[in-house]
């Protein structure tokens, strides 16, 4: 090709490509001037290629080239080959020759050079030449390439979907090839085993997933090997542990299955691992809750049993204390018998305190915050503890000279101290040692230690110190966790200290622990001190003078003859006239016969045939203004509620009968008289209105 026609290197490359083609091909401009012809075209046109450059195609055609001009115009508008025919003029007296030709427009990619026309030349009648066959094969190859590319795209999309799915699964998924070498791990598997997928790839499955028996730590055969060998799913034995890369052990559930294609060819295996730690922990919590429920049921049964025993026992104590009070008033002062009676009275009152402590320990009641003297509470706990702990354990107490008061629920604080003291006893592990209770006042107005997280102020500190085995740092960090216990199985629920911490928090206090192995343990509780007692509290605390009766008639009903005799003597000594009945229906019949003869009724609660509540309601229907006292050796919360509903009714613990019956009866009669006077004063005003 002449340099003037195709001046740049790209055109020369195009010319070289055209020359190499086995088919005749010429390049023309839009006017039909030949720019280049390859050797095969020169043969068909009958001229050397160099001689054809610059010639007009019409010069080679026979006269009347309108068909040729039309072909060139149609080719200039299409990038697809436009078929046509070219009649060559006769040369040297020969005949005209007809060539098949196809014309298409060829544009430069850079858009700067002018477009060319490419014309392919073939002898007329050669429809299945090599160029046509080559185009056909190229088209087939193109379609095959597109088909394969589409299949590869679909396959890659499926692989990506599978990768995303496997990486999103909460269980660990690991795949291997037929040799058992790791080929894939999802993030859960990486976290569970401690192996990154890149590090584990190509390693034997046993190295990445090392399974051992929980009891013996002996290796377990990989289920992947079994799945590949058997071509069937294989489960891991129960109680298996996964030994992670860092050496830790995790309980796992495992299954492996072979990977087989549609033709049945074995491709590898897949293993699915599940961390069983949370499930086992949940099972442990469930068992602990079941144990706690059983303990609560035992405690409730013990409470009911204690309530029944307390009722009968308090009848005895009430009679003993009542008779000692009567005897002390009847015996001359200075006699040795008086001292003996005083000792009997002191012993009976101590027994009464023990019964109260047992009932408080077994009772489940709402929190009742009242002003409490801590030294009294600590003393009661010590008395109960000394009756429980073996004598080889020394129990000491350090109490302040002045009493310390807090606003608290006495029952809950009693539970806290008993729990801490019991733990201190267990820390001695059955051997000798000592337990010490310390009570002191602290002034933290200037500042509070950071670990207490309390506002500045005045606090009471109760410390329980033992000389036991102590605790290490790991145990101290977890000691307040629910269900955590260092005791053997079935000997503790792990709830004691968690409950203690909750009670202390409800009382706006704090708890600290100082312990080390071999140095014992000191548990300190900080509670805000109560403010100065109000006038009401002060007056309530002072013993009130008992108002003697003026011969008022008291109906007393109790099936316990000994208690009835004692109560009759106490009331008679206080100035009242008493009629005693041991049968509730008989007492009700007497009241129905003459309702106005009685000024007040006292009835026991727990009696056969008719209990005290039923009798009280029957008496209330007879007389709306009749004051009623219900006595019981055991006073649960529901009884208190029902007594309040009766109206003009008071509840009295039987063991307190000797100390309180006179004041309770006097208070009820005074309230009745005051109400009657108010009613009498209001009557004239209502009449005037």
Which residues of the chain does CATH 3.40.50.2300 include? 547-688
Residue 153, classified by CB atoms within 10 Å of its CB into exposed (0-12), middle (13-18) or buried (19+), is: exposed
* Rounded Cα distance, 259 and 166, in Å: 15
Contact indicator for 172, 193 with CB cutoff of 8 Å: yes
What is the predicted pLDDT for the residue at 235? 83
Match domain 169-275 to its CATH number in 3.40.50.300, 3.40.50.1820, 3.30.70.330, 3.30.450.20: 3.30.450.20
Question: pLDDT-based confidence at 686, cuts 50/70/90?
Answer: low
Confidence of residue 149 (pLDDT cuts 50, 70, 90): confident
Write the CATH number of the domain with boundaries 286-531. 3.30.565.10
Determine the topology of domain 547-688 in CATH: Rossmann fold (3.40.50)
Averaged confidence pLDDT in the chain? 80
- pLDDT at residue 598, rounded to an integer: 93
**pLDDT bracket for residue 314 (50, 70, 90):** confident
Half-sphere exposure of 464 (CA within 13 A, CB side): 21
**Does residue 198 or residue 125 have the better pLDDT?**
198
Residue 62 has pLDDT above 50, yes or no: yes
> At 660, is the pLDDT very low, low, confident or very high (cuts 50, 70, 90)?
confident
Question: What's the average model confidence in pLDDT over 573-586?
Answer: 92
The tokens describing 246, both together, are 């860092």
- Name the least confident of 157-166, 198-207, 402-411, 648-657: 157-166
The stretch 221-248 carries a mean pLDDT of 85
Lowest mean pLDDT among 278-287, 351-360, 582-591: 351-360
DSSP 545: P
Query: What HEC string does 300-330 produce?
Result: HHHHHHHHHHHHHHHHHHHHHHHHHHHHHHH
Contact by Cβ (8 Å): 423, 389:
no
Tell if the pTM clears 0.85, that is, is over it.
no
- The answer, yes or no, to whether residue 361 has pLDDT greater than 70, is no
614 vs 22 pLDDT, higher one: 614
- Furthest C-alpha separation in the chain: 178
Domain with CATH 3.30.565.10 in the chain: 286-531
DSSP letters, 388-455, are TS-TTEEEEEE--SS--EEEE-HHHHHHHHHHHHHHHHHHTTTS-EEEEEEEEEEE-SS---GGG---
Domain limits, CATH 3.30.450.20, in the chain: 9-127, 169-275
User: Tokens representing 143?
Assistant: 């379609």
Spatial CA neighbour of 233 closest among 194, 275, 272: 272
**Confidence tier at 449 by pLDDT (50, 70, 90):** confident
- 6-20, 101-115, 196-210, 645-659 — which is least confidently predicted? 6-20
**Of the listed ranges 165-169, 214-218, 356-360, 510-514, the one predicted with least confidence:** 356-360
577 Rama sector, left if φ>0, alpha if ψ -120 to 50, beta otherwise: beta
Question: Rounded mean pLDDT of 393-416?
Answer: 86
- Would you say residue 295 has pLDDT above 60? yes
CA 130 → CA 22, 121, 135, 155, 361, distances in Å?
A: 8, 13, 9, 37, 109
What is the 8-class DSSP label of residue 533?
P
Confidence bin at 6 (pLDDT 50/70/90)? very low
- Which of these ranges, 320-324, 527-531, 651-655, 676-680, has the smallest mean pLDDT? 676-680
Give the three-class secondary structure for 600. strand
- Burial-class residue 536 by CB neighbours within 10 Å (0-12, 13-18, 19+): exposed
Which two three-digit tokens encode residue 629? 């006292």
CATH number for 9-127: choose from 3.30.450.20, 3.40.50.11890, 3.40.190.10, 1.10.1060.10: 3.30.450.20
């Amino acid at each position: 090709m002449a340099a003037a026609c195709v001046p740049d290197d790209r055109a020369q490359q195009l010319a070289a490509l055209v020359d190499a083609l086995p088919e005749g091909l010429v390049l023309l401009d839009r006017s039909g001037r030949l720019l280049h012809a390859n050797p095969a075209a020169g043969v068909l046109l009958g001229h050397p290629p160099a001689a054809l450059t610059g010639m007009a195609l019409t010069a080679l055609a026979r006269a009347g080239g309108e068909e040729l001009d039309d072909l060139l115009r149609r080719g200039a508008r299409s990038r697809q080959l436009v078929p046509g025919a070219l009649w060559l003029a006769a040369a040297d007296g020969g005949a005209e020759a007809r060539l098949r030709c196809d014309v298409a427009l060829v544009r430069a990619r850079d858009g700067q050079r002018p477009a060319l026309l490419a014309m392919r030349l073939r002898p007329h009648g050669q429809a299945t030449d090599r160029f046509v066959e080559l185009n056909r094969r190229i088209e087939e190859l193109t379609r095959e390439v597109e088909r394969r590319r589409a299949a590869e795209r679909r396959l890659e999309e499926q692989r990506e979907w599978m990768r995303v799915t496997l990486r999103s699964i909460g269980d660990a998924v690991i795949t291997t090839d037929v040799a058992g070498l790791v080929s894939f791990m999802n993030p859960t598997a990486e976290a569970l085993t401690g192996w990154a997928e890149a590090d584990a790839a190509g390693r034997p499955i046993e190295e990445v997933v090392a399974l051992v028996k929980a009891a013996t730590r002996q290796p377990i055969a990989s289920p992947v090997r079994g799945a590949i060998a058997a071509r069937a799913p294989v489960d891991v034995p129960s109680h298996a542990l996964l030994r992670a890369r860092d050496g830790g052990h995790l309980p796992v559930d495992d299954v492996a299955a072979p990977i087989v294609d549609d033709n049945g060819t074995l491709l590898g295996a897949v293993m699915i691992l599940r961390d069983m730690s949370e499930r086992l922990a949940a099972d442990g919590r469930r068992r602990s809750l079941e144990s706690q429920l059983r303990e609560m049921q035992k405690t409730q049964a013990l409470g009911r049993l204690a309530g029944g025993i307390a009722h009968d026992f308090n009848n005895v104590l009430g009679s003993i204390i009542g008779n000692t009070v009567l005897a002390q008033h009847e015996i001359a002062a200075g006699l040795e018998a008086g001292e003996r009676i005083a000792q009997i009275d002191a012993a009976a009152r101590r027994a009464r305190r023990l019964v109260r402590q047992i009932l408080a320990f077994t009772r489940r009641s709402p929190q009742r915050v009242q002003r409490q003297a801590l030294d009294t509470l600590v003393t009661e706990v010590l008395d109960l503890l000394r009756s429980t702990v073996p004598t080889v354990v020394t129990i000491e107490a350090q109490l302040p000279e002045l009493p310390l008061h807090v606003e608290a629920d006495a029952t809950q604080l009693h539970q806290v101290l008993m729990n801490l003291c019991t733990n201190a006893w267990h820390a001695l592990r059955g051997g000798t040692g000592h337990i010490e209770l310390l009570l002191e006042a602290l002034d933290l107005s200037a500042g509070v230690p950071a670990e207490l997280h309390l506002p500045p102020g005045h606090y009471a500190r109760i410390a329980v110190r033992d000389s036991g085995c102590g605790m290490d740092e790991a145990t101290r960090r977890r000691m307040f966790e629910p269900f955590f216990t260092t005791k053997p199985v079935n000997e503790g629920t792990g709830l004691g200290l968690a409950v203690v911490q909750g009670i202390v928090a409800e009382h706006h206090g704090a708890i600290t622990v100082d312990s080390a192995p071999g140095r014992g343990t000191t548990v300190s509780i900080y509670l805000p001190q109560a403010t100065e007692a109000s006038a009401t509290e002060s007056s309530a605390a002072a013993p009130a003078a008992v108002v003697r009766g003026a011969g008022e008639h008291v109906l007393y009903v109790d099936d316990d003859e000994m208690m009835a005799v004692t109560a009759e003597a106490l009331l008679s000594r206080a100035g009242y006239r008493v009629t005693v009945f041991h049968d509730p229906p008989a007492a009700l019949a007497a009241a129905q016969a003459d309702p106005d003869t009685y000024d007040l009724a006292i009835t026991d609660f727990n009696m056969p045939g008719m209990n005290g509540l039923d009798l009280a309601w029957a008496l209330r229907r007879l007389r709306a203004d009749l004051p009623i006292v219900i006595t019981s050796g055991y006073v649960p919360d529901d009884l208190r509620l029902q007594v309040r509903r009766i109206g003009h009714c008071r509840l009295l613990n039987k063991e307190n009968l000797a100390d309180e019956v006179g004041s309770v009866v006097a208070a009820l009669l005074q309230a009745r008289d005051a109400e009657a006077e108010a009613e009498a004063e209001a009557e004239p005003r209502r009449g005037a209105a």
